Amino acid sequence: MKKILLSIFALFAFTAHAQDKELTKKLMFSVGYRANDLDFNKELEKQGITKINQSMITMGLSENWEKGDFRWGVNLDLLISLPKKSNGIEASQYGTALFMDASWRVINHEKWEMLPTAMFGFSANKASITRTNSVDEDEKFMPNSLNLENNYFFAGAALDFKIAKQSDFPVILTIGTEYPLFNNKWKASGSHQNFVRETKGKFFVKLKFDLN
C-alpha cells in the first residue's frame, strides 16, 4: 500500500512539474537515407528480372509539439529510390509514410541532448518494372510493364540526437529502424493477387532542420 501511495504521489508531482512547462510547436524539414532489405527482390532475381533499388532517399515535413521533456509529432515523408536497369528492364520504387512519434528527453547536455523515440504509422509504396527493349512474343517472361503496390502499417524505434542546440541552426540526427505489422504484401496494382510478404525491418538515418 505504501508503494502504491508513493507511486501516486510521484505521478502527481511529475504531472504538476510538466504543467509548469510551456508548450512549444515547431515545423521541421528532414532529409535522409533508408535501407530496405526487400524479400520481393529474391523473387525478381529468380525470374532474372532487375531487382528494385533497396536504397531510398527520404524527404519530409513534421509538426512537433514539446512540453518539458516530452516531444510528440506528426510526420509525412516522401520516399524515392533511383531506378535500376539491366538486361533491358528498368525497376523503380517510390512511396510515402505518414506516422506519429513520441519522444522522451533522457540526456539534456548544454550542447546536445538525446531522446529515445517510438513511432507508429502507415506507408504506401509503389514499384514499377518496365521493359525498355523489344523482344519477340515467344521470348517474353514478363509483360511490358508491371506495377506493384505494398501498403502496410508499421512500428519503429529511434534515437534522436539534437546537436549544436545553442547555435542559430540546431540539427536533430535520427537513427532508427521500423518493422511492418499488417497488410505488408506486394500486389499488382488494381488486383487482389498477392505476391511476397515483406517481413524485414528497415534502417534509416535522418537530419531534421527547424523551419521556424
Q: Is 6 within a domain? A: no
Q: Is 158 within a domain? A: yes
Question: For residue 192, is pLDDT > 60?
Answer: no
Domain ranges, residue 101: 25-210
Q: Is 45 within a domain? A: yes
Q: Which amino acid is at 87?
A: N
Residue 165 φ then ψ, to 5°: -65, -20
Q: Is 161 within a domain? A: yes
What pLDDT score was predicted for residue 169? Answer: 82
Number of domains in the chain: 1
Q: Global pTM?
A: 0.78
Give the chain's radius of gyration (CA, Å): 22
What pLDDT score was predicted for residue 182? Answer: 75
Q: Is 5 within a domain? A: no
Q: Which of 30-44, 126-140, 169-183, 184-198 has the lowest mean pLDDT?
A: 126-140
Give residue-wise pLDDT tens across range 143-170: 567 788 888 899 999 999 998 777 778 8
Q: Is 3 within a domain? A: no
Range 73-88 average pLDDT: 85
- With vertex at residue 36, the alpha carbon angle to CA 147 and CA 45, rounded to the nearest 5 degrees, is 60
What pLDDT score was predicted for residue 191? Answer: 55
Q: Is 17 within a domain? A: no
What pLDDT score was predicted for residue 41? Answer: 77
Nearest to 103 by CA among 128, 70, 138, 126: 70
Give kind and range of the element (H or E) at residue 17: helix 2-19
Looking from the CA of 96 toward its CB, the CA atoms found within 13 Å total 4
Question: For residue 15, is pLDDT > 90?
Answer: no
Give residue-wise pLDDT tens across range 88-107: 777 888 999 999 999 999 99
Cell of 53: 533499388
Give kind and range of the element (H or E) at residue 44: helix 40-46
Range 194-203 average pLDDT: 79
Cell of 112: 546536445
CATH number at residue 130: 2.40.160.20
Q: Is 15 within a domain? A: no
